[in-house]
Amino acid sequence: MSMRRTFKLKVNQVLHRPQHHNSAAAASDHDNPLKDIKLAGAYEHVYQLSPSSEVDGLLLPGEITVGHAKEVISYVLHDENRRGTSGLLVCTNFRLMFVTDKPPYCNLIAVDNKLIGPQDVTLSNIETIYIEKQNGKRKKLYPTSRNIKDGIQKLEIHCKDFRILTYSFKLSVLGEGKNIVRAILHHSYPQDSSLSFAMEYISKKASKETSTKEASNISSKVVSLYRKVDDWEKLIMTSQAMKGRWRITSINETFSLSATMPGLFVVPSSLSDAFLKDAIHQYNNNRLPIWCYTHPNKCSLLRSSNFREESVQFQVDQKIRQEITKCDPSGRKIRMMDLNKMCPTLQQVQMSFHKLKTSCMPANEDEYMESDGKWYSTLQTIKWLQFVSCCLEVARTCVDHIDSGLGTVLLIETLGVDWTACISCLVQVLIDPTKRTIDGLSELIQREWIIGCHPFTTRLGILHQPKKSSKFQPESSTSDHPEVCKSPIFMVFLDCLYQILTQESTKVEYTSFFLTSLADGTRLPVFDTFIFNNERERNRTLQQLNQQRTTDIETISIWDWDVQYPHHVQQLFINPLYRCKRFHHLVATTTPPLGGNSIATNDDVTSPNTLDLTTTPKVEKLKSSKKSSTHHRSASDSTCLDTTTSSMTSSSTPHGHKRINSNSYEVPYQPPQGRSVFYCAGDERPDSGRSVANSRSSSTDNMAAEDDEAVVIGLVDQVNSRAPQVAERLRFVPNSANNNNDVIGCRDDDDVMQVKTGVQYLRFWKFAYLRWVSFSQLIGGGESPQVEQENKMADEIVQLASKIEHLEAQLCNGDTSVTSPPPRVDDVTVQFVSSYFPYLAISNKSANKSTLGRVYNFSRKKEGKSTTSASAPSPKIHHHHHHTEGKPPHRPAPLSPAQVAASSHHMVALSEQQQTSEGGTYNRLSSGV
Partner 1 sequence: MEFSEFIKTPKVEEAFLEGSCISKMIGSACLTGHHLILYSHSGDNAEHWILHKNVDAIDRRFGNDKCQITLKCKDFETYCLTVLSQEDATNIANSIEVLSSLDNINLQYPFFYKATNSLSESNLGSIEEDFLMISNVSDQWRISEVNNNFQICPTYPQRIIVPKSISDQMIFKSSEFRNLGRFPILSYCHHNGRVVMRCSQPQIGTNNRRCKEDEKLINVVLGSHHRGYIMDTRTQQIALQARSKGGGTETEFNYPQWKKIHHNLSRPSALYDSICKLVEVSRDKGCAVDKWRSRLESSNWLHHVKEVLTASCLVSQCLDKEGASVLIHCADGFDSTLQITSLTQIILNPECRTLRGFLNLVEKEWILYGHPFRERCARSVYSVGKASRDEGPTFLLFLDCVHQLQHQYPLSFEFDGSLLCQIARHTYASQFGTFLCNNELERFTSRVRSKTTSLWSHLLSDDVFPSYLNPVYQPRSDTIWPSVAPQSLMLWGELFTPFVDPSAVTRRCLRSNKLYLHELRSTINELSKEVSQLEEQEEKLKT
Touching partner 1, residues 520-579 (CB under 8 A): 577
Near partner 1 by CB under 8 A: residue from 797, 840, 877, 908 = 797
- Helix (H) / strand (E) element for 302: namely strand 300-305
Residues 807-836 that bind partner 1 (CB under 8 A): 807-808, 810-811, 814, 816, 835
Q: Which is nearer to partner 1, 336 or 613 (CB)?
A: 613
> Taking the complex as a whole, how short is the minimal distance between the CB of residue 784 and partner 1, in angstroms?
10
Q: Which is nearer to partner 1, 314 or 375 (CB)?
A: 375
By the rule CB under 8 A, 581 interacts with partner 1: yes
What span, in angstroms and rounded, lies between the C-alpha atoms of 530 and 524?
9
Q: Which is nearer to partner 1, 306 or 506 (CB)?
A: 506
Largest CA distance in the chain: 99
Q: Which is nearer to partner 1, 696 or 854 (CB)?
A: 854
Near partner 1 by CB under 8 A: residue from 41, 177, 461, 785 = 785
Q: CB 372: neighbour CB atoms within 10 A? A: 9
Near partner 1 by CB under 8 A: residue from 854, 860, 878, 879 = 854
> Taking the complex as a whole, how short is the minimal distance between the CB of residue 457 and partner 1, in angstroms?
32
Residues 482-511 that bind partner 1 (CB under 8 A): 503-506
CA distances from 536 to 257, 263, 286, 455 (A): 11, 8, 13, 11
Near partner 1 by CB under 8 A: residue from 12, 404, 848, 911 = 848
112-148 residues labelled b (16+ CB within 10 A) or e (exposed):
bbbbbbbbbbbbbbbbebebbeeeeeeeebebeeeee
Q: Return the range that interacts with partner 1 (CB under 8 A); candidates 430-438, 629-637, 658-666, 858-866.
A: 858-866
DSSP output for 17-77: S-GGGSHHHHHHHTT-HHHHHHHHTTTGGGTT--TTTTTGGGPPTT--EEEEEEEEEEEPT
CA-nearest of 727, 672, 347 to 514 is 672
CA distances from 52 to 69, 90, 168, 184 (A): 11, 11, 21, 19
Residues 588-647 that bind partner 1 (CB under 8 A): 588, 613-615, 618-619, 622
DSSP output for 422-453: HHHHHHHHHH-GGGGSHHHHHHHHIIIIIITT
Q: Return the range that interacts with partner 1 (CB under 8 A); candidates 15-23, 49-57, 646-654, 851-859.
A: 851-859
What span, in angstroms and rounded, lies between the C-alpha atoms of 32 and 26?
10
Q: Which is nearer to partner 1, 178 or 383 (CB)?
A: 383
Q: What is the pattern of x (binds partner 1, CB under 8 A) and - over residues 885-904?
A: xxxxxxx-x-----------
Q: Which is nearer to partner 1, 368 or 419 (CB)?
A: 368
Near partner 1 by CB under 8 A: residue from 17, 803, 845, 878 = 803
> Taking the complex as a whole, how short is the minimal distance between the CB of residue 772 and partner 1, in angstroms?
13
By the rule CB under 8 A, 782 interacts with partner 1: yes
CA-nearest of 486, 520, 423 to 124 is 520
Residue pair 889/881 in contact (Cβ under 8 Å)? The answer is no
Q: Which is nearer to partner 1, 157 or 385 (CB)?
A: 385
By the rule CB under 8 A, 368 interacts with partner 1: yes
690-717 residues labelled b (16+ CB within 10 A) or e (exposed):
bbbbebbeeeebbbbbbebbbbbbbbbe
In this structure, which amino acid lies at residue 168? S
Q: Return the range that interacts with partner 1 (CB under 8 A); candidates 6-14, 35-43, 82-90, 775-783.
A: 775-783
Q: Which is nearer to partner 1, 835 or 903 (CB)?
A: 835
> Taking the complex as a whole, how short is the minimal distance between the CB of residue 444 and partner 1, in angstroms?
22
- Helix (H) / strand (E) element for 568: namely helix 567-570
Residues 371-390 that bind partner 1 (CB under 8 A): 372-377, 379-380, 383, 385-386, 389-390
Near partner 1 by CB under 8 A: residue from 343, 451, 531, 587 = 587
Q: Which is nearer to partner 1, 554 or 790 (CB)?
A: 790
Q: Which is nearer to partner 1, 319 or 756 (CB)?
A: 756
Residue pair 359/371 in contact (Cβ under 8 Å)? The answer is yes
In 581-668 the beta strands, taken as DSSP E runs, fall at none
Near partner 1 by CB under 8 A: residue from 140, 862, 905, 924 = 862
Q: Which is nearer to partner 1, 657 or 887 (CB)?
A: 887
Residues 430-469 that bind partner 1 (CB under 8 A): none
Alpha helices for 432-534 (secondary structure H): 438-445, 456-459, 489-503, 512-521
Q: Return the range that interacts with partner 1 (CB under 8 A); candidates 107-115, 155-163, 526-534, 788-796.
A: 788-796
Q: Return the range that interacts with partner 1 (CB under 8 A); candidates 89-97, 284-292, 323-331, 853-861.
A: 853-861
Residue pair 89/167 in contact (Cβ under 8 Å)? The answer is yes
> Taking the complex as a whole, how short is the minimal distance between the CB of residue 802 and partner 1, in angstroms?
10
Q: Which is nearer to partner 1, 161 or 504 (CB)?
A: 504
Q: Which is nearer to partner 1, 654 or 758 (CB)?
A: 758
Residues that contact partner 1, how many (by CB under 8 A): 94
What's the gap between Cα 435 and its chain centre?
16
Residues 194-253 that bind partner 1 (CB under 8 A): none
> Taking the complex as a whole, how short is the minimal distance between the CB of residue 383 and partner 1, in angstroms?
7
By the rule CB under 8 A, 846 interacts with partner 1: no
Q: Return the range that interacts with partner 1 (CB under 8 A); candidates 96-104, 449-457, 560-568, 800-808.
A: 800-808
Residue pair 456/193 in contact (Cβ under 8 Å)? The answer is no
Residues 706-765 that bind partner 1 (CB under 8 A): 743-744, 748, 751, 753-754, 756, 758-761, 763-764
DSSP state of 858: H
What span, in angstroms and rounded, lies between the C-alpha atoms of 650 and 180?
47
By the rule CB under 8 A, 770 interacts with partner 1: yes
Residue 97: beta bridge partners? 90
Q: Which is nearer to partner 1, 368 or 772 (CB)?
A: 368
CA distances from 563 to 58, 219, 524, 568, 648 (A): 15, 10, 12, 13, 27
CA-nearest of 70, 65, 10, 72 to 43 is 10
> Taking the complex as a whole, how short is the minimal distance between the CB of residue 376 and partner 1, in angstroms?
4
Residue pair 891/921 in contact (Cβ under 8 Å)? The answer is yes
Q: Which is nearer to partner 1, 281 or 803 (CB)?
A: 803
Residue pair 129/181 in contact (Cβ under 8 Å)? The answer is yes
By the rule CB under 8 A, 691 interacts with partner 1: no
Q: Which is nearer to partner 1, 276 or 360 (CB)?
A: 360
Q: Which is nearer to partner 1, 548 or 616 (CB)?
A: 616
- Helix (H) / strand (E) element for 267: namely strand 265-268
What span, in angstroms and rounded, lies between the C-alpha atoms of 209 and 212?
5
By the rule CB under 8 A, 51 interacts with partner 1: no
Residue pair 178/149 in contact (Cβ under 8 Å)? The answer is yes
Residues 300-339 that bind partner 1 (CB under 8 A): none
CA end-to-end distance (rounded Å), the chain? 58
Q: Return the range that interacts with partner 1 (CB under 8 A); candidates 284-292, 438-446, 539-547, 789-797.
A: 789-797
Residues 92-121 that bind partner 1 (CB under 8 A): none
At 688 the three-state DSSP class reads helix
DSSP state of 774: G
By the rule CB under 8 A, 927 interacts with partner 1: no
> Taking the complex as a whole, how short is the minimal distance between the CB of residue 339 and partner 1, in angstroms?
18
> Taking the complex as a whole, how short is the minimal distance between the CB of residue 92 and partner 1, in angstroms?
35
Dihedral angle over CA of 827, 832, 838, 841, nearest 10: -150
